[in-house]
Structure 1
Amino acid sequence: MASGYTGRSHACCWHRGALLTLTRDQELWGMALWVEKHHGDAGGEFIASKIDQLNRAGAQDGGRLWQNVARRYEQLVERRTYS
C-alpha cells in the first residue's frame, strides 16, 4: 500500500491468480492493520510521524490519507483494549 494518495476510489491487486478490487475503505483498514502488525503500540506515533512528514513536504492529500488511517487504527486499539 502506498503512502501517497492515488485519487482512486479503489485499489486492485492480484492474489493467487485472481484480480481483487478493494474499496477505499478496505484499503484504509488494510493500512491500519499493517501499522498495528508492524508497529504495535507505537502505531499512533508512526502514523503521526507520517502525517507530519507528508504535510511538511506539501503532500496534503497524503496527510489526509494517513489521518483516515489514524481513525481506523484508533478503532483497532479501542477494540483491542475492550477485548
Structure 2
Amino acid sequence: MGIPKNGYEQAAISLAPIETDMTLDEFCQSDLENYEYFNGALIPIALTTMEHGEISMNLSSKNRDGISFSNRHQNAHA
C-alpha cells in the first residue's frame, strides 16, 4: 500500500494526537520537530502546502513592489 497523497502530491499525514508519557520539560529538551505538546499528547503540526508557498511568495513580491495591504485597503475605499 502506497503513501496517501493530497492534491499537491505531498504525503498525507495523520494529525491525530499521539499519547505520550513524556513531560513538557522533556519535550522542550527533545529534538522533536513539527509537533506541539498538549496535556500529555504530541500533536503533529500540519505541513504547509505548495499553495501556501505560492501565496506567500506572491504576497512578499507585492510588498517588495511597494503595495501594502493598508494602502490597497485605503485606496479601495477612497
Task: Name the TM tier (shorter chain).
Answer: under 0.3
**Higher helix proportion, which one?**
1
Return the TM-score normalized by structure 1.
0.27
Superposition TM-score, scaled by structure 2 size: 0.28
Larger Rg: 2
